[in-house]
Amino acid sequence: MKLTPKAAMLAAIEEGKKGSGFVSPNPLVGCVILDRDYNFLAKGYHARLGELHAETHALKSVTDTSRLKGAHMYVTLEPCAHEGRQPSCAKTLATLPLKSVTYGLPDPNPKVSGRGVEILRAAGLEVVRFAELQNELEELAEIFLMNMREGRPFVSVKVASSLDGQVALADGSSQWITSEASRGHVQSLRGFHDAVLTGAGTFHGDNPRLNSRDSRFADKRLPVILLDPDGSCVAALPGSALLQVRPAADVFLVTKPGVKVLSGVTHIELSMRDGEFDLRALVSLLPAYGVHSVFVEAGATTVSAFLRQRLCDRLYVFMAPKILGKGLGWTSALQIPSLEQAVRLENLRVEPLGEDFLFTGRTIFSTRTLPKSLG
Amino acid sequence: MKLTPKAAMLAAIEEGKKGSGFVSPNPLVGCVILDRDYNFLAKGYHARLGELHAETHALKSVTDTSRLKGAHMYVTLEPCAHEGRQPSCAKTLATLPLKSVTYGLPDPNPKVSGRGVEILRAAGLEVVRFAELQNELEELAEIFLMNMREGRPFVSVKVASSLDGQVALADGSSQWITSEASRGHVQSLRGFHDAVLTGAGTFHGDNPRLNSRDSRFADKRLPVILLDPDGSCVAALPGSALLQVRPAADVFLVTKPGVKVLSGVTHIELSMRDGEFDLRALVSLLPAYGVHSVFVEAGATTVSAFLRQRLCDRLYVFMAPKILGKGLGWTSALQIPSLEQAVRLENLRVEPLGEDFLFTGRTIFSTRTLPKSLG
């Protein structure tokens, strides 16, 4: 089957997604190889940290290597130039009789950026930066790009609300607002990240496990970051669902300095400002624990705090086809002083999930800091 | 081009929609005719009250009438049996050499229901009630079906909100939350209904015209029903935008009994209950004014009142890709006592409109009355 370059790059993006949750801190990368006549030849992806890169994964499945002569490779990210756990992809490709390599994004890693292209060009290959699908390519690599560009973990915030923006009724009841299909998707999203973050309110109210019941992630370590300024969760932690499904060290308990915690849990002491943690300071500590992406799954107070501190890179809103009236809105602790300062969503997509709809988009903040309250 | 029965019925539904806003109190009806070999032959729709019905509109475009021999007709509603402004369609069809007539829904009008089928069968035609697309067929005819089944106007409620369910900021600012594409679509929706309804708050705050700037409806009479219990709008009405674009008689001013109003406007006096109009009593008065469908375009108080009184048949939520924080939610005056009593939306569809999304669905209420307030 012949493929256009765009179809090949789209297929490479789909390949890349298959590594979600397994490659941190590497990027998700996918690759498609077409033969000299643009017939499909092979595809591959970076499946797991320390294992083959997408290009070599795709090459491995080519049994008749004579078909690589004059072939065209499409890869979502510039092939790497440096030797790490794996040999340099650019150097490997330079030894092959490929005609062209088309890549989606330049590598933002200063160790690699542009060097992969140089190696390939020096070997006589045509190297093309793909001009289309930039949003899709950025989205595939968004965790890695944020890690590289801003030197901090990528933060996703999840909300499950009614059509009128409520996460609970006035009396606090909130179980099962969204459907089973939505809740199943949340299980996968947890696994796509390095850690899940929640607040003391959710811990006390729901006693959640916050692991991933997506079978792909059955063996994945998934720490929970629990925001608990005053240590209110300490007494209940030993019997909690959180500790039933993970070792104590994988509960990162974030408290004010001087709070006594349970031995065994990972204790992060952080000073507060205006009664709130500095969440940017918090996430800057996480890479030391191997956490390069965080999935925030919490109540309105914590969600609003992340929005107010403009620390939300991607928003996932699971919206149920229900109207709940005046209850608890998911932004009830956020106030926006003017319409120009509204938080916007870019590249917003909406997809049906059972009877619900999932909105997801990149969050764009105005440059001004949002006040905690106007009241 | 050959069409399957389903494709023919879908095309008939699309035809029927073309009459939106022009056929009240008749139903929207579309029709497709395939020849004996199921090739497309003709299509038509009921375009305007008093003009041809869909079946005869389609038949009129068949120039080579010999192709009607053995032909198959697909029509969204049972052909009418009674003679009104137009001759009975069933009797007309009975004289033609058609092989079959497939109809989408039985006519809910007791004067017609089943009689059209009888006339056709008596004439030897195969008559088939179509088994699929029932939701789409019901939606096409929803205004007429409500008029017939419940003897009251169909009520659509429109909301323009942010992703977090807010229609305004805390300070009340709300202009242009949604995009130009959404606002353009609202112009068409107004024209699809017999009247627009709003509240005194919107009148005072926005001085709206509430006509349809969709050019198809340039000549359409579109009364406005203004809920103004205390007559607070009376003084401002003469210079208002409402009266610039319509005759005074097409402003239906709804007040408590005994309020003095402007001469010339249509005055509807209605008693209140718990500080609120009985909206079911109000809409029951409207057919006498030629109003069989109402488009509610108002603030949170009026929208919440319609929801609380369970008088909302279809909801249109235009959702902008923005987060506004704690402001004014569109259901801020509605309280739901338990999750089981949440208002649900059925056959909810979402479609992109510029950068916004339009949610629309049929509203389903729990059987229990919703309280005005729990507080």
Residues 6+ apart with CB under 8 A from A312: A155, A156, A157, A296, A306, A343, A363
- Looking at the complex, report in whole angstroms how far the Cα of residue A338 sits from the nearest Cα belonging to chain B: 7
Q: Does one domain contain both A18 and A120?
A: yes
| Token duo for residue A212 | 């991933």
Give a yes or no: residue B52 inside a domain.
yes
Q: Does one domain contain both A295 and A209?
A: yes
CB contact under 8 A, B361 and A321: yes
- Nearest neighbour of A322 by CB, restricted to B327, B342, B352: B342
Enzyme catalytic residues of B: 55
CB contact under 8 A, A164 and B330: yes
Question: Quick one: pLDDT at residue A368?
Answer: 65
Give a yes or no: residue B371 inside a domain.
no
Give a yes or no: residue B176 inside a domain.
yes
B175 contacts in A (CB within 8 Å)?
339
Q: Does one domain contain both B12 and B99?
A: yes
Half-sphere exposure of B81 (CA within 13 A, CB side): 18
Q: How far apart are the first and last CA of chain A?
A: 63
A327 contacts in B (CB within 8 Å)?
335-336
Question: Quick one: pLDDT at residue A59?
Answer: 96
Q: Does one domain contain both B53 and B163?
A: no
Give a yes or no: residue A375 inside a domain.
no
> Alpha carbon B13 to chain centroid distance?
15
Which of A144, A173, A207 is a domain's end point? A144
Question: Quick one: pLDDT at residue A273?
Answer: 87
A335 contacts in B (CB within 8 Å)?
170, 325-327
Q: Does one domain contain both B277 and B339?
A: yes
The domain total for chain B is 2
Question: Quick one: pLDDT at residue A358?
Answer: 96
Specify the pairing of strand B166-168 against strand B195-199.
Answer: unpaired
Task: State the count of interchain CB pairs (< 8 A) between A and B.
Answer: 142
Q: What is the dihedral sign for C-alpha A228, A231, A233, A239?
A: positive
Q: Does one domain contain both A104 and A181?
A: no
Do B32 and B11 contact (CB within 8 A), yes or no? yes
Q: Does one domain contain both A124 and A216?
A: no
Give a yes or no: residue A370 inside a domain.
no
- Nearest neighbour of B164 by CB, restricted to A170, A323, A329: A329
- Nearest neighbour of A170 by CB, restricted to B162, B325, B335: B335
Residue range of the domain that includes A274: 152-364
Give a yes or no: residue A369 inside a domain.
no
Give a yes or no: residue A372 inside a domain.
no
Question: Quick one: pLDDT at residue A371?
Answer: 63
B345 contacts in A (CB within 8 Å)?
163, 321-323
Which residue of chain B comes nearest to A344, CA vs CA?
A: B322
Beta bridge partners of B102: B74, B128
Question: Quick one: pLDDT at residue B339?
Answer: 86
CA dihedral B23, B29, B35, B38 (to 10 degrees): 150
Which residue of chain B comes nearest to A361, CA vs CA?
A: B321
- Looking at the complex, report in whole angstroms how far the Cα of residue A275 sits from the nearest Cα belonging to chain B: 19
B304 contacts in A (CB within 8 Å)?
325
Give a yes or no: residue B186 inside a domain.
yes
CB contact under 8 A, A165 and B170: no
Mutate to test the interface with B, among A171, A174, A330, A339 (most CBs of B within 10 A): A339
Residues 6+ apart with CB under 8 A from A7: none
Which of A116, A144, A172 is a domain's end point? A144
Question: Quick one: pLDDT at residue A361?
Answer: 97
Q: Does one domain contain both B111 and B199?
A: no
Measured between alpha carbons, how far is A27 from B260 in angstroms, rounded to an integer?
Answer: 71
Count helices and strands in chain A by DSSP H and E runs: 11, 19
CB contact under 8 A, A323 and B334: yes
Helix (H, G, I), strand (E, B) or coil at B123: coil
Do A156 and A313 contact (CB within 8 A), yes or no? yes
Q: Is the ipTM of this complex over 0.95?
A: no
Q: Does one domain contain both B166 and B209?
A: yes
Q: Does one domain contain both B121 and B193?
A: no
pLDDT digit string (tens) for A40-65? Answer: 999 999 999 999 999 999 999 999 99
Q: Does one domain contain both B182 and B60?
A: no
Beta bridge partners of B159: B317
For chain B, which ranges sit under pLDDT 70?
367-375
- Looking at the complex, report in whole angstroms how far the Cα of residue A173 sits from the nearest Cα belonging to chain B: 7
- Nearest neighbour of A163 by CB, restricted to B332, B337, B345: B345
**CATH number of residue B10's parent domain:** 3.40.140.10
Q: Does one domain contain both A208 and A348?
A: yes
Residues 6+ apart with CB under 8 A from B219: none
CB contact under 8 A, B304 and A322: no
A331 contacts in B (CB within 8 Å)?
164, 166, 323-326
Which of B144, B162, B183 is a domain's end point? B144
Question: Quick one: pLDDT at residue B375?
Answer: 38
For chain A, which ranges sit under pLDDT 70?
367-375
| Token duo for residue B224 | 């406005």
Which long-range CB contacts under 8 A does B37-42 form with residues at least 24 apart? B37/B2, B38/B2, B38/B3, B38/B4, B38/B72, B39/B1, B39/B2, B39/B3, B40/B1, B40/B2, B40/B3, B40/B8, B41/B67, B41/B68, B41/B71
For chain A, the average pLDDT equals 93
> Alpha carbon A76 to chain centroid distance?
17
Enzyme catalytic residues of A: 55
CB contact under 8 A, B346 and A304: no
**CATH number of residue A196's parent domain:** 3.40.430.10
Model confidence, pTM: 0.91
